Amino acid sequence: MNRKPNHQPLTSGRFAKLCRTTKETLYVYEQEQLLKPRYIGLNGYRYYGAEQFFDFDLISVLKESGSSLKDIRRYQQQLSLQSLDAMLSQKGAELTARIVRLMHQQQMLFQMQSLVVYCQGLTFNQVAIKTFNEEHFESWPCTLPIFSDYSELSASMAEFINHFLAKEQPLGFPMGRCFPVDALQNESTYSTKLFAKSQCGVPGECTFHRGNYVTIAVQGGRDEHLQALTELNAFVQDEHLALDKEIFAFDLLSWVQLRGKDQLATEYRIRLQD
């Protein structure tokens, strides 16, 4: 039988409240030999010392930082100032990397939400002139036909995203592709590159310049997109507009809005020459 200490003990319920946890958690830690009661009474009640709060707190910090209960038990068995220093340095580095990943994920959510709001305010199948601020994107070579289906485009975009992920440079939104302005009059034109927003805040090599753009947003398959580009070209000719040499085709969350193999939601933007 465990010997009862001289100082005032805490029942498992009171100790759990002190540690902002539950008696069930304390029992698990006891079974894992991480945090044993100071003694167990004849009635089976478990009692803890208030000083064990710091043991519990260290276990909680390590667990929340990603350590398994098995790892924590090993740390405890080897505990010294030197081993604690090494362990905390390791966990600090792991948490820093985790925070960076979470910040990238948060940035992705913000970018997606901003794009959702933009999509909700769009009028489709209507040519318009809009002013946009300058943006910088990472880019990736792409030679797909401008009317390639969504599965082909998705495969190429996945390769693009994975290439930058391998370099720990995650990409987000907006994203899309570029092709020559000749596509307004030649449907056989090929894309030149894919683009996507970096999550790392590093300006990419692909620049979407500030200025006025002639635009049209469209949802659908090949026929709908061909019709949209035809209308865009007719507007340009009627208004005698001088255009830059590149079309930016911004994806409008096609995977959310359409989900069809041959369906895309796109806003085409062509910068007007000054």
Instruction: Confirm or reject CATH 3.20.80.10 for domain 116-272, answering yes or no.
Output: yes
Looking at the chain, which runs of residues are DSSP E strands? 10-11, 39-40, 46-48, 128-132, 135-141, 171-180, 193-198, 206-208, 211-220, 243-251, 264-272
Report pLDDT digits (tens) over 209-222.
Answer: 999 999 999 999 99
DSSP string, 124-144: TT--EEEEE--EEEEEEE---
Non-local (6+) Cβ contacts of 42 within 8 A are: 1
Q: Give residues with Cβ within 8 angstroms of 33, minimum separation 6.
A: 73
* SS3 at position 264: strand
Return the ∠ at Cα 213 (arms to 208 and 214), rounded to 5°: 135
d(CA 204, CA 38): 60
Q: What per-residue confidence (pLDDT) applies to 31?
A: 95
Can you give the length of the chain in residues?
A: 274
| SS3 state at 92 | helix
Domain boundaries of the chain, sorted by first residue = 10-79, 116-272
Q: How confident is the model at residue 8 (pLDDT cuts 50, 70, 90)?
A: confident
Task: State the average pLDDT over residues 229-244.
Answer: 96
Buried b (16+ CB within 10 A) or exposed e, 136-169: bbbbbebebebbbbbeebeebbeebbeebeeeeb
Cα→Cα distances 110→113, 115, 219, Å: 5, 9, 23
Chain-centroid distance of CA 229 in Å reads: 32
Are 10-79 and 116-272 in the same CATH fold? no
Q: Is 257 exposed, middle or buried (0-12, 13-18, 19+ CB in 10 A)?
A: middle
Q: Please tell me the pTM assigned to this model.
A: 0.76
- pLDDT tens digits, 82-99: 888 888 899 899 889 889
Q: How many CA atoms lie within 13 A of 69 on its CB side?
A: 11
Q: Please give the class, per CATH, of domain 10-79.
A: mainly alpha
151-155-157-162 Cα dihedral, nearest 10 degrees? 150
pLDDT in tens, 137-189: 999 999 999 988 788 888 999 999 999 999 989 999 999 999 999 999 888 88
Using DSSP, how many helices (H) and how many strands (E) does the chain show? Answer: 8, 11
